[in-house]
Amino acid sequence: MARWHTVHMLDFITRQDMPAVLLIDDDMVSREVMATMLTMSGYPVHTAEDGTQALAMLAAKQCRPAVILLDAQLPGVSGVKLIKRLRAHSKARLYVISGSGPADEVRAAADGFLQKPFAPESLTRLIEKQESAPHAAVAGLDPAETVVDAGTLAQLREMMPEAAVRQIFEAILTDLGKRITLLESAIAKSNWVEARRIGHAIKGGGSMAGALQVSRLGELIESGGLEPVQAAFGGNQSDNSSVILTDLRSAAVNLQRMLDAKLKV
């Protein structure tokens, strides 16, 4: 049965800023070892032995996790189907844990992956990385940030005529406009798997042409930067989607200005 772990509760009482964790694993030994690792580090932990039990706990508001750790191979409902259902009940970040590499679609649907066996510090680093991500997302564009890598631009100019170079960047801008619209639709539907896929495409197109701002923002979206993050103990959520979309539009404007200044045809 799922239960609230009370190991080192006195230590936990002094660390109530720690994010709550929901651990889902059908192997009792693995489940208890990981739960002990986390509670000894100060994290409040709930456990469930399968997806059905975890979904019931979330639906009944028995726990409000900031982080969900999910075994990749569970009896009954599992994989992408379970991840989608968990996301429908919780805004928690979701990490897959497995003794072998999960399927590509499972990796894409989750926020990260950790392979068993792992050291306690690997587990806590995974959670701490999640906690710091939202703060990086709201920084906005740095006015001093390079828009296009000078070396990449020089290489493109050596390889092809100026007009062809401009066409490459114009294609990136056209594609970016379409993908921003698709991102807005994905956000409205809370379709974070699709948002990550779009972010991957934005990153790829930008990086090939050295469009550094566009590529960086695409990487941020691919890593889950658009997704709301629930604070520990069910507090307010941090939603950076509007900030990142604004930055993406600003990056497009900056790229257009670069074209007008350096690639006049």
CB 224 within 8 A of CB 133: yes
User: Would you say the C-alpha torsion 21, 22, 24, 28 has a positive or negative sign?
Assistant: positive
Average pLDDT for residues 251-263, to the nearest whole number?
A: 87
pLDDT > 60? residue 134: no
Q: What is the pLDDT of residue 43?
A: 86
Q: Which residue in 212, 202, 207, 209 sits closest to 144, CA to CA?
A: 212
Q: What confidence category does residue 1 fall into, taking pLDDT thresholds of 50, 70 and 90?
A: very low
Q: What is the pLDDT of residue 186?
A: 92
Out of 3.40.50.720, 3.40.50.300, 3.40.50.2300, 3.40.50.2000, the CATH code matching 9-137 is: 3.40.50.2300
Spatial distance between the Cα atoms of 196 and 222, rounded to a whole number of angstroms: 4
Q: What is the pLDDT of residue 198?
A: 94
Q: What is the pLDDT of residue 209?
A: 87
Q: Which of 59-68, 119-128, 149-158, 251-260 comes out lowest in average pLDDT? A: 119-128
Mean pLDDT of the chain: 80
pLDDT > 70? residue 12: no
Q: C-alpha 212: how far from its chain's center? A: 20
Which residue reads 């651990």 in tokens?
23
* pLDDT tens for each residue of 142-194: 667 889 999 888 888 888 888 888 888 999 999 999 999 999 999 999 899 99
pLDDT > 70? residue 205: yes
The dihedral over CA atoms of 247, 252, 254, 256, expressed in degrees to the nearest 10, equals -170
Spatial distance between the Cα atoms of 98 and 116, rounded to a whole number of angstroms: 6
* pLDDT tens for each residue of 81-110: 999 999 888 888 898 888 777 777 888 888
Q: Which of 9-13, 100-104, 220-224, 227-231 comes out lowest in average pLDDT? A: 9-13
Which residue reads 């409000």 in tokens?
64
Out of 1.10.287.70, 2.60.40.1840, 1.20.120.160, 1.10.10.10, the CATH code matching 150-262 is: 1.20.120.160
Structural tokens at position 5: 């772990």
Domain ranges of the chain: 9-137, 150-262
Spatial distance between the Cα atoms of 198 and 202, rounded to a whole number of angstroms: 6
Q: Which of 27-31, 117-121, 188-192 comes out lowest in average pLDDT? A: 117-121
Spatial distance between the Cα atoms of 126 and 265, rounded to a whole number of angstroms: 49
